[in-house]
Structure 1
Amino acid sequence: MTLQAISRFFSGTPLLTLAAILGVTHAEAQEVTMAFGEKIPPYCIPENDSGIELDIMREALAVRGHVLKPRYTSFARIPVMFESGTVDAAMTDAGKNLSAAGGHYAEPAIIYDNVLISLKQRALQIRQPTDLAGLSVLSFVGAANRYPDWLAQVKKQGRYSELNDQSRQVLMLSRGRVDLVLSDRYIFRYFSRHLQQSQGFTPPAVTEHQFVKLNPQDYRPIFRDPAIRDDFNVGLRQLKKSGRFDEIYRHYVGGMAKP
């Protein structure tokens, strides 16, 4: 069976049937309990167990017959759940090295395209950390650990805060409650559209400031079992080679370019 044919089966074939097609016995397949963020669409959408990241993780693991069991929690608790042994894997370490907790890092599955976002009418110019002087920043949980060079001084001065519910970032920025929001650009756009459709919210014009170079190594999934990590890597490469990886991205972000 070609990789292209396998990718067609991913979207509509039950995982155990898929495992049989690929020659993996039921006894060899394992359930993998994995911690995911609960408020980060389009990457994770708990309401229907879907999203860019969830679909990629599920289908990559399924190549070797493993079955994903997502566990949703706040972003800050993801590494805590892994350290406590509550889950077998985690979508991210939230800026904390989990190797000491028995974590084995996989190849990066997705890239969060984090940007600083301001109201366009403010005409802010953000090119270096000193440009944040006097400005308030509202971010996703764990950003201060990820970007200390940019955020340490803002945090020290009491002008930095984090929210697990990133839909509130959109509202607080639009109402002038904060000067800048730090978010993945797709998450911010998703919530802007959702609020527009569900509440009649009118999204203001914004400027996205790319403040750091994207680093795929920042968001690698972590597995407790190195063999399952290796199986995931094999499946991920297969998704990319078959074109299924790009199909998943296009399904959720439409015409927006993949980072």
Structure 2
Amino acid sequence: MRKPNLLARLVLATALLGGSGHGSAVEVVMAFGEKIPPFCFPESDSGIELEIIGEALAFRGHRLKPHYYPLARVPLSFRQGEVDAAMTDLGQDLSQAGAHYGQPAVIYQNVFITLKKRQLRIQRPQDLGGLSVVAFPGAAQRYPEWLAQTQQAGLYFEQNNQELQVLGLNKDRYDVVLSDQSIFRYFELMLERTSLFKAQATELHHFVEEDPEDYRPLFRDRQIRDDFDAGLEQLKRSGRYQQIYDHYLQQ
């Protein structure tokens, strides 16, 4: 069955959530990262984060128009006035550039992932001693207190293709993967659906307390920000928020 396009999904979401044309409904041009499965798929205007933001805006009748950029350019596109909103500021405070911050649509949960059969315990940086770690690009700069020792020992690797992280762990090429748990789970499911791959049981090791403020979307218009927050609250209250996650992360 052909998947409905973004506009059709948002019209349906507005009806399901009971949204109204509160105030003036507008098209919201918003910057997203080019490809962050399962949070954003530019080729189909879909993904967990994109759909949650789009449906939250649709609650008050607004229509999301995503524009895609390399992740590092997302805040710059807002600063330069190319877009009305952005999925993230990547740690830059854009309040002086006219940003009004909304509630986080999603929170990325970076964890260490190991094979359960290894019975590894990772509770402090020293526990990574002697273990090979593969992570997303830039992880060593983000978590130096955890990864500096592994990096100095020549046991740290970065892999932009996170599907290869899943394969590498399952084939015992690496001892530890550092990844967002939803991204890792998504690629496990995709590999199982499209190949003879069978995922081994894994253990998740939480090592940092994520700050929700790191994942807040930002809007140039205060009223649209308020409308987004109202729609996001309704998505969570109605159960639709969890349905979007489940669509991408359950068998």
TM-score normalised to the size of structure 2? 0.79
Q: Which runs of 5+ in 1 are unaligned?
A: 1-9
For the 8 Å contact 1:76–1:141, the answer to whether it is kept is no
Q: Which stretch shifts more, 149-158 or 127-136?
A: 149-158
For the 8 Å contact 1:115–1:209, the answer to whether it is kept is yes
Could you say which residue in structure 2 is the equivalent of 1:6? none
Cα distance in 1 between the residues matched to 2:100 and 2:140: 23
Provide Cα deviations, 1:78-122, integer angstroms capped at 9, x if missing partner.
334334443332222334444454433211122222211123343
RMSD over aligned CA atoms reads 3.3
Could you say which residue in structure 2 is the equivalent of 1:194? 190
Provide Cα deviations, 1:203-244, integer angstroms capped at 9, x if missing partner.
233221111234322311122333322221122122223332
Deviation at 1:60, TM superposition (A): 0.9
Q: Secondary structure of the equivalent of 2:11? A: coil
Could you say which residue in structure 2 is the equivalent of 1:151? 147
Could you say which residue in structure 2 is the equivalent of 1:225? 221
Distance 1:127 1:237, change over 3 A: same
Cα distance in 2 between the residues matched to 1:119 and 1:140: 18
TM-score normalised to the size of structure 1? 0.77
- Counterpart selection for 1:127 from 105, 109, 123: 123
Cα distance in 2 between the residues matched to 1:226 and 1:75: 24
Could you say which residue in structure 2 is the equivalent of 1:46? 42
Could you say which residue in structure 1 is the equivalent of 2:5? none
- Counterpart selection for 1:107 from 97, 103, 106: 103
Could you say which residue in structure 1 is the equivalent of 2:132? 136
Cα distance in 1 between the residues matched to 2:68 and 2:37: 12
For these two proteins, the number of residue pairs brought into alignment is 244
Q: Secondary structure of the equivalent of 2:204? A: strand
Q: Which runs of 5+ in 2 are unaligned?
A: 1-7
What letter corresponds to residue 57 of structure 2 in structure 1? L
Provide Cα deviations, 1:22-42, integer angstroms capped at 9, x if missing partner.
1347xx322222222344333
Cα distance in 1 between the residues matched to 2:244 and 2:9: 10
Cα distance in 2 between the residues matched to 1:80 and 1:160: 30
Deviation at 1:127, TM superposition (A): 0.3
Could you say which residue in structure 1 is the equivalent of 2:248? 252
Q: Secondary structure of the equivalent of 1:191? A: helix
Q: Secondary structure of the equivalent of 2:28? A: strand
Runs of 4+ in 1 over 6 A off after TM superposition: 15-18
What letter corresponds to residue 133 of structure 1 in structure 2? G
Could you say which residue in structure 2 is the equivalent of 1:179? 175
